Structure 1
Amino acid sequence: MAESPAEERRGGPAAPQLRLDELLEGLQAQVAQVRATRDRVHTLLDAVLAIGSDLDLDVVLRRITESAVAVVDAEYGALGVLGEEGRIKQFITVGVDEETIKTIGHYPEGEGILGLLIREPEPLRLADLGTHPESVGFPEGHPPMTTFLGTPVRVRDRVFGNLYLTDKRGGAQFDDEDEAVLRTLAAAAGVAIDNARLYEGTRRRERWLAASSELTRSLLSGTDPDQVLHQVATTVRSLAGADLVTMAVPIDDGDELVIEAADGEGAERVRGLVLPATTLAAKVHRSNERITSKALSQEPQGGAGSAAHVELGPGFLLPLVGREHARAVLQVANLPGGEEFSDAAMTMISGFADQAALALEIAEHRREADHLLVLTDRDRIARDLHDLAIQRLFASGLTLNSVLGRISDRPEAAERIQRVVDDLDDTIKTVRTTIYALRERDRSEGRAGLRAKLLSETDQAAEALGFSPALRMTGLLDTGVPAGHADHLLAVLRETLSNAARHAHATVVEVTAETDGSRLRLRVSDNGRGIDPAVTRRSGLDNLRRRATDLGGTLTLTPNEPTGTVVEWTVPLPAAEADA
């Protein structure tokens, strides 16, 4: 039946109204999408500005990770920085609290999905991490994660690291737009990282140049070379961020070295330690070539060296090379688990070491020139004393002797003149002794010093002991200890080592000889049987005690822990006298 006109008027506009609503809804959806895209673009721009607004590399890396989480609306995010061998050396996380990080333990090294992105540096998007064939699961305490989005961060066409994002908020999946935005952010991050690294490299070079200038100024201004070695060790440790830095110098012309300066963890335990020819430092000194190791304490060194006394991880040793030979050996190390030193850092330290070697050589030439001037002056004084003073005194004595015959009738005057003649004879003898001492001192300048004699004594004792005693030497033993005190110290060391070999039956002996300018100290410890209280005749110990008391010092004997004996012989040093 046909509809009435009224019914047609009531039902006619319904269909156009529905189509208009649909169009309006579609338009609103497009507007919302445009707004969302605009907001995302603004977020991306804000992120790019944030990561490019600082030049501190650590700050930049943290901001990159935080920005990546924000632009894709992820729950968790991380940036894994790759080392030189393609393993993760730094892991910056966002969304995981500190307690959880401590529970998880060591950050990942590059296995599973993280390793896949390292081996194949292309964007990777997964709906479920656990279902991927490369997945290896999570460690205990790790928060559960499902969706995944990752992309590499390249710096000048080289992969610097990877961005890892998980669990998009709201339970949604990461989509193509998320991937495109993250790739854009990664490109901007590469530029920011490159700028930060260039800035950091420039600042590092400025610090090394300033340190080199300060080192040269210190040496040329007359600072003691021993103090300069300590300055080098402290500077290298500070600028390189190392845990321990040591400086070893050769003992006379032998193959052994002694650690003259040390700074950092365990420095007190290795300072003054004598390094045999089997150590890495001695090998570097002979070859003039750098040695690098991932675990210094695991290197074969004959049971000696600083790495035998302090547990060391990655590090390297390099020579301070002069024009003819290595003047010292620099060791830079981190504790086990520490970061390896980059090629750039080693190159920078090597340049500083070359500068230090040159400055030491210049300072040594200056000291030699000053020394030659002193020797020349001594020779002139001796010649003048011989040619002028003695001749005049002798002539005066002859004149007075001729007067004695003329006043024989005046015994009192004759006696007084005779006393003057005798005084002149004594004065001539004193002057001649002074001349001999000046010339003998010149001839003795090249003789072996106390350090070499200490080393010789311990080497000789090794035959009786069956092993080499550990020897530490600290301070100006060659130049700051008078000959008489040095002879006493060597005699005490000889007697103590002999006792350790004949009576104590020790398997470990440690010798420390040191001076601070005001006192001389010798410490010998062993792990032997100790002193038998039933033995009352101890002539050797009495001799040691008498050598100490004669010089105004002391001798103490104390038990060593857990077994053995500690002998300490300490004497004061006389005030330094100026050279003639």
Structure 2
Amino acid sequence: MRLDELLEGLQQQVAQVRSARDRIHTLLDAVLVIGSDLELEVVLQRIVESAVSLVDAEYGALGVLGEEGTIKQFLTVGIDEETIAGMGHYPRGEGILGLLIRHPEPLRLANLARHPSSVGFPSGHPPMTSFLGTPIKVREQVFGNLYLTDKQGAAEFDADDEAVLRTLAAAAGVAIDNARLYDDARRRQRWLAASNELTRSLLSGTEPTAVLESFTATLREMAGADLVTLAIPVGDSGELVIEAASGTRAEDARGLVLGAATLAAKVFASGETITSDAVSADPRATGGSAAVVELGPAFLVPLGTRDHVRGVLQVANVPGGPVFTDAVIDMVIGYGNQAALALEVAEHRQDADRMLVLNDRDRIARDLHDLVIQRLFAGALTLQSTLGRLADRPQEGARVQRVVDDLDDTIKVIRSTIYSLGEQERSRSEGLRARLVAAMERAAEALGFAPALRMTGLLDTNVPAGHAEHMLAVAGEALSNAARHAQATAVDVSVEVTDTALRLKVADNGHGVDPAVTRRSGLANLQQRAEELGGSFSLRPNEPSGTVVEWAAPLHTAL
């Protein structure tokens, strides 16, 4: 009898040793599995699956922590997509999960509902009883927590389960760190390649607008964002215009003028980075792209140094999208600084090219004045001196006089050309964009609010002076009508220039044009300005209320 008991005890010990051996082998296999991939999302999912398998749990989850101790990502095993959809949202870090966040130590419970910190389950959540949780640390910092529930084949998890899970969590921390280092290395590689391409494009003389569009597209891909915009200053007004945009509804944001109350203008003025979990609903923001496109998590960074900000980058996701990590923000800041340096080098090169042009213009002006005009003047004087000898031949004298008059007119034309050579460059100091912004500021005084302005295309370089004057006059008349007659509460102004045409659109939400009004001298003036340039003018009702003024002029007439 004694021998049977000893044999039975020995068999139990052998079974326990085999069970421990099998568990160790399973644990080693799990460590190999989670460490065999460097894609972070794949690693995280494998960690949860391995944890569920190791401790024979019904359900498992990994909660990745974000800022201020909240759960920003939640990966599950054992719950189907339909059940997840029925629950409405993933846990935010309350109850037992919040306890583990506040006190990152292993936690083992026989019954979840009986713990004082329990807050119950949301509607549609499957019932759960036993619980085992442990933190995952990466370089002594808590990355997230493993949550396991409902031990299969037993009422609760035991100490061995806890020890195995802690070991797995330690290995998981190493695997996560490796995956993040790999992701950071790939991001830096893409950043360096993009920076080199940006510098090469700028220095090769590629059109800056095309370079900036490529820059925002590359940045959006690198950051994994839904929308990236780049705003640059307009003159010295403190306002900015979105010069380039890439992503969701980029066309709605491109060309939008950002007033001083927008977050972008605040970043431009302060040189400080601003982050927001929901930028469209952020009380600090007024207007801007977030008012046109519904956006969620976002951050805005200055392009350049704090003392010399060249523009503002906004990187955003749609509502419900993930919050950007510190690594992504740092990457964008570094890439932005590199881009600012490349832009500055390109501008210096353009300045050098412009100086060559100016010097050449000065030389041409001097040659025209010192050589051509003097010779023409001397020739005219010579011809004039011969007129006295032709008093008896009036026909020949009249011909000579006409030649003298033509020479005098030619001298005037050349002098006008010399003057215009200098004036062309001086007129660039206040471009059409700055004048449009100033016109909106003047209109805001009469309207009682600032009109929304959108500018697209190379307005400062591709629009002839005559076209610019006509367009500014039409915009002023349309805004004046909106202020005096429409009683509008919102006015949208868009100006677009292409290779072939200049277009202006002014839309308000006021009362619209009264059909009983027959005198429209102002409207006739707008029509005349369009016809003078071979363009078009139209006036139509806006939907659901108001008026739309559209004015266009071809650019080929200025050639």
Pick the TM interval, shorter chain: over 0.9
2:356 paired with 1:373: yes
- Pick the aligned partner of 1:291 from 263, 274, 277: 274
Select which of 332, 338, 349 maps to 1:349: 332
**C-alpha separation in 2, matches of 1:301 and 1:257:** 17
Conserved in 2, the CA contact under 8 Å of 1:476 and 1:517? Answer: no
The residue identity in structure 2 corresponding to 1:73 is D
**Residues 419-568 of structure 1 correspond to what in structure 2 (within 5 A)?**
423-446=406-429, 448-568=430-550
Within 2, Cα distance between the matches of 1:439 and 1:25?
108
Change (3 A) 1:178 1:443: closer
* Closer, same or farther: CA 302–147 of 1 in aligned 2, 3 Å: closer
Match of 2:544, SS?
coil
Structure 1 position 57 matched with structure 2 position 40: yes
3-state DSSP of counterpart to 1:96: coil
More deviation, 299-308/541-550 = 299-308
Distance across 2 between alignment mates of 1:498 and 1:168: 75
Using the aligned pairs only, state the percent identity.
70
Looking at structure 1, the residues matched to 119 and 366 of structure 2 have their Cα atoms a distance apart, in angstroms, of 88
Question: What's 1:316 paired with?
Answer: 299
Residues in 1 aligned to 2:318 and 2:386: alpha-carbon distance in whole angstroms: 85
Give unmatched runs, 5+ long, in structure 1: 1-17
* 1:144 matches 2:127: yes
In structure 2, the residue matched to 1:43 is 26
How far apart are 1:50 and its partner, in Å?
Answer: 0.3
Deviations 1:425-461 (Å, cap 9, x if unpaired)? 4443433332232233244343x21112212222222
Question: Which residue is equivalent to 2:289?
Answer: 306
Contact 1:518 1:575 in 2 (8 A): no
In 2, Cα distance between equivalents of 1:533 and 1:444:
42
Tell me which moved more, 185-194 or 203-212: 203-212
Q: Which residue of 2 aligns with 1:90?
A: 73
Contact 2:495 2:505 in 1 (8 A): yes
The answer to whether the aligner puts 1:225 opposite 2:208 as a matched pair is yes
Match of 1:339 in 2: 322
Q: CA deviation at 1:299?
A: 3.6
Paired with 2:205 and 2:361, the residues of 1 have a C-alpha distance of 22
**Alignment correspondent of 2:237:** 254
**Contact 1:322/1:358 (8 A) holds in 2:** no
**Matched residue of 2:93: which SS?**
coil
Distance (whole Å) between structure 2 residues aligned to residue 129 and residue 479 of structure 1: 70
Aligned partner letter, 1:345: V
> Which residue in 2 is equivalent to 1:105?
88
Q: Structure 2 CA distance, aligned partners of 1:345 and 1:107? A: 24
| Other-structure match for 1:34 | 17
The superposition leaves residues 125-171 of structure 1 with CA deviations (integer Å, 9 ceiling, x where unpaired) of 22222222222221111111122211111112222111111122234
Question: Which amino acid letter does the alignment assign opposite residue 508 of structure 2?
Answer: D
Distance 1:407 1:563, change over 3 A: closer
1:507: Cα distance to partner? 1.3
Query: Partner amino acid for 2:551?
Result: W
Counterpart CA distance in 2 for 1:301 and 1:30 is 67
Seen in structure 2, the aligned counterparts of structure 1 residues 550 and 411 have a Cα distance that, compared at 3 Å, is closer
1:134 equivalent among 113, 117, 142: 117
State the secondary structure of the residue aligned to 2:489: coil
Corresponding residue SS for 1:141: coil
Partner of 1:236: 219
Q: CA deviation at 1:522?
A: 0.7
Q: Deviations over 1:173-218 (max 9, x none)?
A: 3222222111111111111111111111111122222222222222
Alpha carbons 1:314, 1:333 under 8 Å: kept: yes
Deviates more, 1:252-261 or 1:428-437: 428-437
Looking at structure 1, the residues matched to 399 and 445 of structure 2 have their Cα atoms a distance apart, in angstroms, of: 65
Residue identity in the other structure for 2:473: A
Shift of residue 108 of structure 1?
0.5
C-alpha displacement of 1:377: 0.6
Give the letter aligned to residue 53 of structure 1: S
Question: What SS does the aligned partner of 2:363 have?
Answer: helix
**1:322, 1:361 within 8 Å by CA — same for their partners in 2?**
no
Q: Distance in 2 between matches of 1:451 and 1:499?
A: 22
Larger mean Cα displacement after TM superposition, 366-375 or 231-240: 231-240
8 Å contact kept, 2:512–2:547: yes
Q: Distance in 2 between matches of 1:576 and 1:424?
A: 27
Q: TM-score, normalization: structure 1?
A: 0.90
What residue is the counterpart of 1:282 in the other structure?
265
The count of corresponding residues between Structure 1 and Structure 2 is: 559
| Counterpart-to-counterpart distance in 1, 2:22 and 2:426 | 88
What is the distance in 2 between the residues matched to 1:391 and 1:116?
93
**Residue matched to 1:7:** none
| C-alpha distance in 2 between matches for 1:462 and 1:301 | 22
Check if 1:192 corresponds to 2:195.
Answer: no
CA distance in 1, matches of 2:515, 2:147: 71
1:154 is aligned to 137
Aligned: 1:68 with 2:51: yes
Give the whole-Å Cα distance in 2 for the aligned partners of 1:575 and 1:541: 23
> What residue in structure 2 maps to residue 122 of structure 1?
105
Rounded Cα–Cα distance in structure 2 between residues aligned with 1:449 and 1:498: 22
What is the deviation of 1:121?
1.6
Which amino acid in the other structure matches residue 490 of structure 2? V
After superposing the two structures, state which structure 1 stretch, 46-55 or 173-182, moved more: 173-182
Q: For residue 43 of structure 2, what is the amino acid of its counterpart? A: V
Q: Is the 8 A contact 2:87 2:125 kept in 1?
A: yes
In 1: Cα distance, 2:122 partner to 2:223 partner: 33
Structure 2 stretches lacking a partner, 5+ long:
none
Superposition deviation, residue 567 in structure 1? 0.9
Counterpart residue type for residue 76 of structure 2: T
CA 1:425/1:283 → structure 2, altered by over 3 Å: closer, same or farther?
same
Mark the CA change 1:482 to 1:442 in structure 2 (over 3 Å): closer, same or farther.
same
Asked if the contact 1:553/1:570 (under 8 Å) is kept, the reply is yes
